[in-house]
Chain A
Amino acid sequence: MELRRFAFIALIIVVMFGTIVAIGSSRTSPGILIVSMLATTIAVATPLTLGALSGLYCERAGVVNIGIEGMMLASAFFGWFAAIYMNTILKMPPLLSLWLGVLAAIVTGGLMGLLHAVLSVTFKVDQIIGGTVINLLAVGISGFFNRQLFFEKGSIFGGQVPHAPGTLPAFHVPILADIPVVGRIFEQQPIAISAILLVFFTHYVLFYTRWGLRTRAVGEHPRAADTVGINVARMRYANVIIGGLMAGLAGAYFTLESVPSFEPGMTNGRGFISLAAMIFGNWSPFGAWSAALVFGAAQALQINLQFFRELIPPQWAFLQQASIVGLVPYLLTMLILTGIIGRTTPPAADGVPYEK
């Protein structure tokens, strides 16, 4: 079952890469094309992977989190603001400012997670409503502070957006990055690398540690966990906050790693796609990661098709419409949700508040 899912995902990625090789090989060698596609895919998949991990911690503990989008957006803003503040006002060096910005983004995510936990665990608010509240709140506060702090006369930056301290520099993975051609894949920025490490780490935590066993127990059958002395509320709080931290790191990707600026609403639905990736991956870290890679590959395909626009053969003219390619992941998600590629099974108590 799981094998079928991964085979299906691999097939889609191969088809997308094959399309670019078929179109672009007359100008660039297939090897270089594939490597560059891979590098883009991994980078683009970063916030999706982290977002999916955010959902994973929450939902494995039994709390539905549709607020990932908002958590990302708020973190993207406050991380960015913190980095500029450190750099411009406190005169810290750019690299240190960026890292402190990442820290601020993670803390913002954690606080948003805490809010979601208070709503859904303590007050047993409908979790869909709670998540929606977080999404709306994030749009509001990031937009408001963006205007107040940067564009109002008399604000700390004097009504002018200061120069951002840039983006996090790429990290050169020792040895691997020195391999010719393929080495390019191993030159990634730090959040992209940590996202991959966190996939492995989350798999270990969920399936090989005490914490993971208890988290899953609380998400499957909270009463059973309660009867063996596990504090259900505390486990849910902790996991939802951890989920928030993950979404916070995803938020940092947007303004501190990808581009050095903030735009209102810049997460642009990535939080929801993360959620789709989590479901697509059947609530498992590797499943979610591979699903995020499918979405990443689709976007890499879209970007590359624009480079090779004039090489697209006339009978494939529809590919010139980049947005059509952009649709592929969404269509795939719907296909997956119908259960054709093996059924997905959420944790049994997902979204159900625990009543003693």
Chain B
Amino acid sequence: MMTQTDKSGNQVVLEAKGITKRFPGVLANDRVDFDLRQGEIHVLLGENGAGKSTLMNVLYGLYHSDEGQFFRNGQPISIDNPKDAIAQGIGMVHQHFMLIPVFTVTENIMLGEEEMKNAVLDRKGVAKKVRDLSHQYGLDIDPDALVIDIPVGVQQRVEIVKTLYRHADILILDEPTAVLTPQEVDDLFRIMRGLTTKGVSIVFITHKLKEVLAIADRITVMRAGQVVGTVTPAETDEHQLAAMMVGREVILTVDKPPAEPGEDILQIEDLHVADQRGLEVVKGVSFTVKAGEILGIAGVQGNGQTELVEAITGLRPVKLGRVLLNGQEVSGKPPRPIIEAGMSHIPEDRQRHGLVMSYPVADNLILCTYYIAPFAKGLVMNEPAVEENAYRLVKQFDVRTPSPFVTASKLSGGNQQKVIVARELSRPVKLLVANQPTRGLDVGSIEYIHSQIVAIRDQGAAVLLVSAELDEIMALSDRIAVMYRGEIVEIVQAGSVTKAELGLMMAGSHIH
């Protein structure tokens, strides 16, 4: 591995000076300066909404900056659309992959830069080039496979080859590890190192502190649209980076007393669930969650967790098996009786399933209780009670909103999530089902929501936590179940396994 001192003399291949980008009501980038040196991995670190992706989308021509200038090898350049960026040798792997599922790998790679032979797309010729590129850079992909059939980690390699096919020597990776298992992350880092030795310079966008120190040559931290500073891994640590990101000291670990498990609250027996296409995606899952404990379900997204949670909460039919809440069978029942039996649910997609975005915060806070006293008075709503409830919960759960009567869509992601948490935890809770409760939130909100989950556990509720963030699972859970392809691989005591072991289990291998 190259060291920082080798690099300091290296040429600056790309420079951004004074980039400013305004969205209605938001200053997303405020006079941002950034530079990238030949062959380095430059991490762009910041919370969600700090302006990292905006900066890179401006650089890639997807947005237009209001002020500022880019320089390529010292020459001023203007980038109006992705075509210009591609022509400048800039390639971007987006957080949400830009691949067409029903196209083959080859078709996806050639799209926009197609090659023709005898008036017909030269699929064979391009497939050969793809094979050559994948050998050259150690990115194993099958050019003839359909993207829909290949795992996410491989799709990411396709995205990288796509940029190399366009002769990119500057690669922007936007949150590339969000969808990967720890082993896949290691693979990606190996690939990135390989690319830099072949002269590619990489911008790596992330909000995960641990990764940063493992891979970065330099780190630029952004906060609220501004650059806070640029440091090297040697001169910093996780705590300092976290403080730079958030602007204050942050507690990185969750403080929680040992669990005191009581009786069984949630019992799942041989549960089978199908997805909307009718394919069985939960295949015979059994586990129990006791009062006063947190059971974390780890696993890469798309291994049946969503359907499992939907079946437990009554949103999806159960094909086979039983769900018992407090000893009573609830499988096959609609959500309302399950909620009335003491279940609270923080859904995976807060905007689609957690809130009615066009309703005011006050109404969102009574979505589960609007039909009973004190909120219902005969056929009409008891507005004073709704208002009183809203003011009280907004204060108690620290929801930052101009008033309880603005629509939920006006709130930031973190505050939207707090509205859901307020609604779900302000009722008597026997079971909390929390699916990806902190996805996409800033560190401050994550801290708050974690503390609330631990608090409800300590009050004697059973908690089922589903998360694709291994750090979150390890920080909160008392026991951990790993899900892979619709089955529970193993259930282990938290603290008895390492992150690497969990990573292997997430890929389907048994440890014990």
Enumerate chain A interface residues (CB-CB to B < 8 A).
208-210, 213-214, 216-217, 220-221, 223-230, 348, 356
The answer to whether A208 touches B103, judged by C-beta atoms less than 8 angstroms apart, is no
Interface residues of B in 67-118 (CB under 8 A from A): 81-83, 86, 92, 94, 98-103, 107-108, 110-114, 116
Q: Which residue of A lies closest to B110 (CB)?
A: A213
Q: Which residues from B are CB-within-8-Å of A356?
A: 62
The answer to whether A228 touches B121, judged by C-beta atoms less than 8 angstroms apart, is no
List 20 A-B residue pairs with CB atoms under 8 Å apart, sorted by A's residue number.
Answer: A208-B121, A209-B120, A210-B116, A213-B103, A213-B107, A213-B111, A214-B111, A220-B100, A220-B101, A220-B103, A224-B98, A226-B62, A226-B82, A227-B82, A227-B92, A227-B94, A228-B82, A228-B111, A229-B81, A356-B62
The answer to whether B101 touches A348, judged by C-beta atoms less than 8 angstroms apart, is yes
In whole Å, how far is A220's beta carbon from the nearest beta carbon of chain B? Answer: 5
> Which 9 pairs of residues, A with B, have the shortest CB-CB distance?
A228-B112, A229-B83, A224-B98, A210-B114, A208-B120, A227-B98, A220-B100, A221-B100, A229-B82
Q: Which residues from B are CB-within-8-Å of A224?
A: 98-100, 108, 111
In whole Å, how far is A222's beta carbon from the nearest beta carbon of chain B? Answer: 10
User: Dominant SS at the A interface?
Assistant: helix
The answer to whether A229 touches B86, judged by C-beta atoms less than 8 angstroms apart, is yes
In whole Å, how far is B192's beta carbon from the nearest beta carbon of chain A? Answer: 20
Q: Which residues from B are CB-within-8-Å of A221?
A: 98-101
In whole Å, how far is A244's beta carbon from the nearest beta carbon of chain B? Answer: 25
The answer to whether B94 touches A228, judged by C-beta atoms less than 8 angstroms apart, is no
Q: Which residues from B are CB-within-8-Å of A230?
A: 111-112
Q: Which residue of B lies closest to A210 (CB)?
A: B114
Q: Which residues from A are CB-within-8-Å of B110?
A: 213
In whole Å, how far is A196's beta carbon from the nearest beta carbon of chain B? Answer: 21
- How many residues in B have their beta carbons less than 8 Å from beta carbons of A? 26
Assuming the A-B contacts A209-B121, A227-B94, A229-B86, are A214 and B102 also in contact, with contact meaning beta carbons closer than 8 angstroms in the complex? no
Q: How far is it, in angstroms, between the C-alpha of A302 and the C-alpha of B114 when the chains are bound?
A: 48
Q: How far is it, in angstroms, between the C-alpha of A217 and the C-alpha of B147 when the chains are bound?
A: 13
In whole Å, how far is B63's beta carbon from the nearest beta carbon of chain A? Answer: 8
Q: Which residue of A lies closest to B277 (CB)?
A: A343
Q: How far is it, in angstroms, between the C-alpha of A210 and the C-alpha of B123 when the chains are bound?
A: 11
Interface residues of B in 409-446 (CB under 8 A from A): none
Interface residues of B in 35-62 (CB under 8 A from A): 60, 62
In whole Å, how far is B158's beta carbon from the nearest beta carbon of chain A? Answer: 12
The answer to whether A228 touches B98, judged by C-beta atoms less than 8 angstroms apart, is yes
Q: Which residues from A are CB-within-8-Å of B119?
A: 208-209
In whole Å, how far is B23's beta carbon from the nearest beta carbon of chain A? Answer: 12
Q: A213-B107, A213-B110, A220-B102 are in contact. List 14 more A-B contacts (CB 8 A).
A: A209-B119, A209-B120, A213-B111, A213-B121, A216-B100, A220-B101, A221-B99, A224-B100, A225-B111, A226-B62, A227-B94, A227-B98, A228-B86, A228-B113
In whole Å, how far is A235's beta carbon from the nearest beta carbon of chain B? Answer: 11
Q: How far is it, in angstroms, between the C-alpha of A71 and the C-alpha of B99 when the chains are bound?
A: 34
Q: How far is it, in angstroms, between the C-alpha of A227 and the C-alpha of B162 when the chains are bound?
A: 11
Q: How far is it, in angstroms, between the C-alpha of A214 and the C-alpha of B113 when the chains are bound?
A: 10
Q: How far is it, in angstroms, between the C-alpha of A220 and the C-alpha of B146 when the chains are bound?
A: 14
Assuming the A-B contacts A213-B107, A356-B62, are A229 and B102 also in contact, with contact meaning beta carbons closer than 8 angstroms in the complex? no
Q: Which residue of B lies closest to A212 (CB)?
A: B121
Q: How far is it, in angstroms, between the C-alpha of A229 and the C-alpha of B121 when the chains are bound?
A: 18
Q: Which residues from A are CB-within-8-Å of B100?
A: 216-217, 220-221, 224
Q: How far is it, in angstroms, between the C-alpha of A223 and the C-alpha of B60 when the chains are bound?
A: 13
Centre residue among B99, B100, B103, B110 by max chain A CB count within 10 A: B100
Q: Which residues from B are CB-within-8-Å of A225?
A: 111-112
The answer to whether B120 touches A217, judged by C-beta atoms less than 8 angstroms apart, is no
Q: How far is it, in angstroms, between the C-alpha of A209 and the C-alpha of B111 when the chains are bound?
A: 11
In whole Å, how far is B118's beta carbon from the nearest beta carbon of chain A? Answer: 10
Q: Which residues from B are CB-within-8-Å of A220?
A: 100-103
Q: How far is it, in angstroms, between the C-alpha of A217 and the C-alpha of B102 when the chains are bound?
A: 9
Q: Which residues from A are CB-within-8-Å of B101?
A: 220-221, 348
In whole Å, how far is B288's beta carbon from the nearest beta carbon of chain A? Answer: 38
In whole Å, how far is A62's beta carbon from the nearest beta carbon of chain B? Answer: 12
Q: How far is it, in angstroms, between the C-alpha of A230 and the C-alpha of B86 when the chains are bound?
A: 12
The answer to whether A213 touches B113, judged by C-beta atoms less than 8 angstroms apart, is no
In whole Å, how far is A112's beta carbon from the nearest beta carbon of chain B? Answer: 29
Q: Which residues from A are CB-within-8-Å of B60?
A: 227
In whole Å, how far is A352's beta carbon from the nearest beta carbon of chain B? Answer: 14
Centre residue among A217, A223, A225 by max chain B CB count within 10 A: A217
In whole Å, how far is B367's beta carbon from the nearest beta carbon of chain A? Answer: 28
Q: How far is it, in angstroms, between the C-alpha of A213 and the C-alpha of B109 when the chains are bound?
A: 11
Q: Which residues from B are CB-within-8-Å of A223?
A: 98
Interface residues of B in 113-158 (CB under 8 A from A): 113-114, 116, 119-121
